């Protein structure tokens, strides 16, 4: 394990190229978070979280993050934060450290980003592993059941055998059903309803009727008593149909104004 860490630390850039399959074969779907991903990269390389040089993993981590599907971009920000930290760690490792004496107290109080990330990884791993143990308990089916009123009903649904009583004759149920039917007075016949259909033809003849009674009419007046929007719409359609067939002429002076309708042969006549 230690030798593996050393091998990688010798040439961080070579890691990805010498072991490309390891660097790329991390399945991202399984990783809900950046720490889970980073930890998996470490464990996949059989490295020790306590000693691994985290900066060396920046390349592999970036590569894995780059493959996050677009659908999960919402998660990306948390991954990017760890990316940034890894790059910071890596760059710090490359730069010569300032002499401790100059820094004085500030340097002493400063948090090492690598140690900070390492602590987070260790803490995360603690609960991830505890979660795995909990998952194993679920698999072992060790549920404790308490008494509740619903238990008997639930067991009934699950097909538990109620007791050893003789099964009841199905005819009994049928008889009881018939008997109860006789108790109930027959329901009054439902009023017959006929679906109303409004046809273009019907509305067109209504328009023709109106024109027979007067040389012209205003559409709004013809429909003034109608509250059914379908009738209004179909009448309007019928009107357009008649106009298209050069049977009537439609005039409207202004938007929302009265719509005048008159027979086509009166088109040239006075309004």
Partner 1 sequence: MAEAARLVPVMAAAEQAEPPAEHAPGELTVGQLEALLFVAERPLSRREIATLAGVERAVVDAALGDLEVTLREHGLRLVTAGERVQLVTAPEAGALIARYVGADALRLSTAALETLAIVAYRQPVTRGVVERIRGVDSEYVLRTLVHRRLVVEQGRADTPGRPILYGTGFEFLERFGLTSLDDLPPLEPEAALRLDE
- Which is nearer to partner 1, 100 or 142 (by Cβ)? 142
> Residue 144, interface with partner 1 (CB under 8 A)?
yes
As a whole number of angstroms, the distance between CA 5 and CA 51 comes to 8
> Residue 125, interface with partner 1 (CB under 8 A)?
yes
Strand partners, 250: 261
Among 70, 97, 111, 143, binds partner 1 (CB under 8 A): 143
As a whole number of angstroms, the distance between CA 35 and CA 65 comes to 12
As a whole number of angstroms, the distance between CA 216 and CA 250 comes to 10
Strand partners, 260: 218, 251
- Which is nearer to partner 1, 108 or 138 (by Cβ)? 138
- Which is nearer to partner 1, 83 or 207 (by Cβ)? 83
Residue 260, H or E segment: strand 259-263
Among 13, 106, 149, 170, binds partner 1 (CB under 8 A): 149
Token couple for 144:
């404790």
Among 51, 127, 215, 250, binds partner 1 (CB under 8 A): 127
> Residue 20, interface with partner 1 (CB under 8 A)?
no
CB of 202 to partner 1, least distance (A): 56
Among 135, 215, 257, 269, binds partner 1 (CB under 8 A): 135
Nearest Cα to Cα of residue 115 among 92, 131, 98, 81:
92
- Which is nearer to partner 1, 136 or 265 (by Cβ)? 136
**Four-CA torsion 244, 250, 255, 256, nearest 10 degrees:** -110
- Which is nearer to partner 1, 1 or 127 (by Cβ)? 127
> Residue 80, interface with partner 1 (CB under 8 A)?
no
Among 94, 100, 101, 133, binds partner 1 (CB under 8 A): 133
Among 82, 222, 242, 248, binds partner 1 (CB under 8 A): 82
> Residue 126, interface with partner 1 (CB under 8 A)?
yes
**Residues 120 and 35: beta-carbon distance below 8 Å:** yes
DSSP per-residue letters across 19-43: SHHHHH---GGG--SHHHHHHHHHH
As a whole number of angstroms, the distance between CA 9 and CA 177 comes to 83
> Residue 123, interface with partner 1 (CB under 8 A)?
yes
> Residue 179, interface with partner 1 (CB under 8 A)?
no
From residue 26 to residue 45, the character string flagging contacts with partner 1 as x (rule: CB under 8 A) and all else as - is ----x-xxxxx---------
Nearest Cα to Cα of residue 212 among 181, 250, 247, 236:
247
Q: Report the Cα–Cα distance between both ends of the chain, in Å, rounded.
A: 102
Among 13, 94, 99, 132, binds partner 1 (CB under 8 A): 132
> Residue 145, interface with partner 1 (CB under 8 A)?
yes
Residue 47, number of CB atoms within 10 A of its CB: 20
List contacts with partner 1 (CB under 8 A).
30, 32-36, 50, 75, 78, 81-82, 119-120, 122-135, 137-149, 151-152, 154-155, 157-160
């Amino acid at each position: 394990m230690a030798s593996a860490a050393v091998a990688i630390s010798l040439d961080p850039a070579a890691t990805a190229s010498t072991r490309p399959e390891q660097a790329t074969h991390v399945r991202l779907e399984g990783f809900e978070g950046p720490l889970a991903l980073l930890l998996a990269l470490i464990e996949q390389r059989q490295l020790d979280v306590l000693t691994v040089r985290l900066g060396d993993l920046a390349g592999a981590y970036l590569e894995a993050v780059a493959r996050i599907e677009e659908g999960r971009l919402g998660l990306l920000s948390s991954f990017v934060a760890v990316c940034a930290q890894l790059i910071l760690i890596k760059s710090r490792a490359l730069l010569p450290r300032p002499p401790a004496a100059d820094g004085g107290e500030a340097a002493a109080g400063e948090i090492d980003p690598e140690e900070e990330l390492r602590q987070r990884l260790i803490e995360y791993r603690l609960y991830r592993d505890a979660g795995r143990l909990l998952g194993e308990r679920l698999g072992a089916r060790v549920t404790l059941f308490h008494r509740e009123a619903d238990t008997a009903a639930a067991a009934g649904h699950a097909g538990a055998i109620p007791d050893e009583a003789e099964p009841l004759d199905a005819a009994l149920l049928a008889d009881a059903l018939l008997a109860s039917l006789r108790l109930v007075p027959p329901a009054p016949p439902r009023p017959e309803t006929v679906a109303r259909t409004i046809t273009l033809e019907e509305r067109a003849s209504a328009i023709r009727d109106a024109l027979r009674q007067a040389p012209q009419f205003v559409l709004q007046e013809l429909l003034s008593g109608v509250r059914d929007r379908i009738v209004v719409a179909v009448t309007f359609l019928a009107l357009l149909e008649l106009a298209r067939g050069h049977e009537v002429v439609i005039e409207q002076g202004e938007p929302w104004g009265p719509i005048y309708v008159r027979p086509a042969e009166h088109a040239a006549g006075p309004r």
